């Protein structure tokens, strides 16, 4: 995606970060007195979701940088914390929820790094174990070539005994991470899918081979790794394709270095359907048989989801029997029928993941249960 317009919030126009980004992105620059100007401009065209991918708004995060992942009602959540570094994405997956989540979506990058650092220091001194990631409202690594925020974060998390950072990506922009003294406090994670799904649904992302190659390079440099098969997309023969991805993965990746693998299937809010049909007319993913889940999102029928997950879980278990496998947004019945236990039988999903992070990232396992969870909700919100 080519950035054609660079909108700059006057509050950050003199920041060195803004100067660095502006020097690297050759685009028309507009200092906007009011952020609504950006939104009005994006909304004025026929295809705001695409226009938002060609415009970058550099601004301050005026709210908290760290937020508890809202998860979704009625399904098991993992108690993750989102580090809110920016919004939207330069890649263009047909199923991307961000197309419908922001109104309108526009590439946004927060450059008040000092305030983010202060909030993270408060978090680090607050006791419990935190799993924190930047890949919820954007891809964690898309801005690395113009603003190496992820590299700064790796340094900031390095050596902490109660926090891990997860960088989640579909890129191969890991070059800047390779030489860092990360001390295994950063988990580099890739979303994986079948080659057909990547080709047909994940426009502008790195190929499967390139993602695995980048993961192998990070492994060589000592980074613990994570993988996310989410969203799994059903099509005839997909089970064999997912098993092939797993075989490819473990030809290069040591299962003992994998902190976790998540599984989730394609789901969508109904208003995303119109956007997918309009923006991705060659995609047929919304035309399967879906039911409305308890959280209002459309999902594959449960027996189909279970069949998909079983095929993937079996392929993973064959090659990596000890890897921590979990579901993103599934219920106890799915857990039981695919993995043979429910999270509550193992102390709850947050504890399962904390324990795996502690094992692989060298954190202090006593920090897991020693403190009450989630005081992040009481962190001071910086003044707007």
Which positions from 202 through 261 interact with ligand SF4, judged by CB under 6 A? 205
Backbone phi, psi, residue 377, to 5°: -65, -20
Nearer to ligand SF4, 5 or 170 (CB): 170
Size of residue set near ligand SF4 by CB under 6 A: 10
Nearer to ligand SF4, 170 or 360 (CB): 170
Give min distance, CB of 275 to ligand SF4, in A.
12
- Distance of alpha carbon 363 from alpha carbon 355, whole angstroms: 9
Interacting residue with ligand SF4 among 25, 96, 172, 298 (CB under 6 A): 96
- Distance of alpha carbon 49 from alpha carbon 202, whole angstroms: 15
Give min distance, CB of 139 to ligand SF4, in A.
5
Give min distance, CB of 89 to ligand SF4, in A.
3
Q: Which of these, 259, 189, 265, 195, lies nearest to 230 by C-alpha position?
A: 265
Binding of ligand SF4 by 41 (CB under 6 A): no
Bridge partners of 319, per DSSP, are none
Binding of ligand SF4 by 92 (CB under 6 A): yes
Token output for 84: 């809110």
Binding of ligand SF4 by 66 (CB under 6 A): no
Interacting residue with ligand SF4 among 38, 51, 89, 232 (CB under 6 A): 89
- Distance of alpha carbon 267 from alpha carbon 232, whole angstroms: 9
Give min distance, CB of 94 to ligand SF4, in A.
9
Is the link from the previous residue into 54 a cis peptide, with omega within 30 of 0? no
Binding of ligand SF4 by 144 (CB under 6 A): no
Binding of ligand SF4 by 42 (CB under 6 A): no
Binding of ligand SF4 by 3 (CB under 6 A): no
Write the Ramachandran bin of 163: left for phi over 0, alpha for psi from -120 to 50, otherwise beta: beta
Interacting residue with ligand SF4 among 91, 111, 245, 334 (CB under 6 A): 91
- Secondary structure (DSSP) of 275-342: HHHHH-TT--GGGS-EEE-TTS-EEE-HHHHHHHHHHHHHHHHHH-TTS-EEESS--HHHHHHHHSS-
Which positions from 166 through 205 interact with ligand SF4, judged by CB under 6 A? 170, 205
Interacting residue with ligand SF4 among 9, 139, 144, 354 (CB under 6 A): 139
Binding of ligand SF4 by 107 (CB under 6 A): no
Edge-to-edge order in the sheet of strand 258-265: 66-68, 81-83, 130-133, 163-169, 186-191, 225-232, 258-265, 325-327
Nearer to ligand SF4, 41 or 92 (CB): 92
Binding positions for ligand SF4, rule: CB under 6 A:
89, 91-93, 96, 98, 138-139, 170, 205
């Amino acid at each position: 995606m080519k950035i054609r317009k660079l909108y700059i919030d006057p509050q950050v126009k003199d920041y060195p970060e803004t100067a660095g980004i502006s020097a690297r992105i050759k685009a028309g620059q507009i200092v906007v007195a009011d952020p609504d100007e950006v939104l009005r401009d994006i909304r004025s065209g026929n295809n705001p979701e695409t226009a938002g991918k060609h415009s970058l708004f550099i601004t301050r995060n005026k709210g908290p940088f760290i937020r508890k992942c809202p998860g979704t009602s009625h399904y098991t959540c993992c108690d993750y914390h989102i580090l809110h570094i920016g919004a939207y994405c330069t890649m263009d997956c047909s199923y991307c929820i961000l197309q419908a989540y922001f109104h309108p979506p526009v590439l946004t990058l927060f450059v008040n790094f000092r305030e983010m650092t202060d909030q993270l220091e408060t978090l680090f001194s607050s006791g419990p174990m935190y799993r924190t990631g930047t890949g919820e409202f954007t891809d964690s690594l898309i801005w690395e070539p113009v603003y190496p925020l992820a590299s700064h974060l790796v340094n900031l998390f390095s050596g902490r005994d109660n926090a891990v950072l997860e960088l989640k990506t579909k890129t191969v922009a890991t070059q800047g991470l390779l030489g860092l003294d990360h001390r295994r406090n950063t988990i580099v994670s890739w979303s994986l899918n079948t080659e057909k799904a990547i080709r047909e649904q994940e426009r502008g992302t790195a190929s499967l081979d390139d993602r695995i190659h980048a993961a192998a390079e990070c492994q060589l440099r000592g980074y613990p790794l994570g993988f996310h098969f989410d969203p799994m997309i059903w099509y005839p023969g997909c089970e064999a394709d997912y098993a092939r991805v797993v075989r490819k993965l473990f030809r290069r990746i040591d299962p003992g270095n994998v902190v976790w693998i998540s599984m989730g299937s394609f789901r969508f809010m109904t208003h995303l359907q119109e956007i997918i049909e309009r923006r991705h007319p060659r995609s047929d993913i919304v035309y399967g048989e879906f039911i409305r889940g308890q959280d209002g999102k459309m999902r594959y029928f449960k027996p189909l989801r279970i069949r998909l997950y079983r095929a993937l879980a079996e392929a993973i278990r064959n090659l990596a029997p000890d890897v921590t496998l979990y579901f993103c947004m599934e219920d106890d019945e799915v857990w039981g029928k695919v993995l043979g236990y429910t999270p509550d039988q193992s102390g709850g999903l947050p504890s399962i993941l904390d324990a795996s992070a502690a094992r692989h990232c060298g954190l202090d396992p006593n920090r897991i249960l020693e403190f009450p969870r989630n005081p992040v909700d009481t962190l001071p919100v910086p003044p707007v």
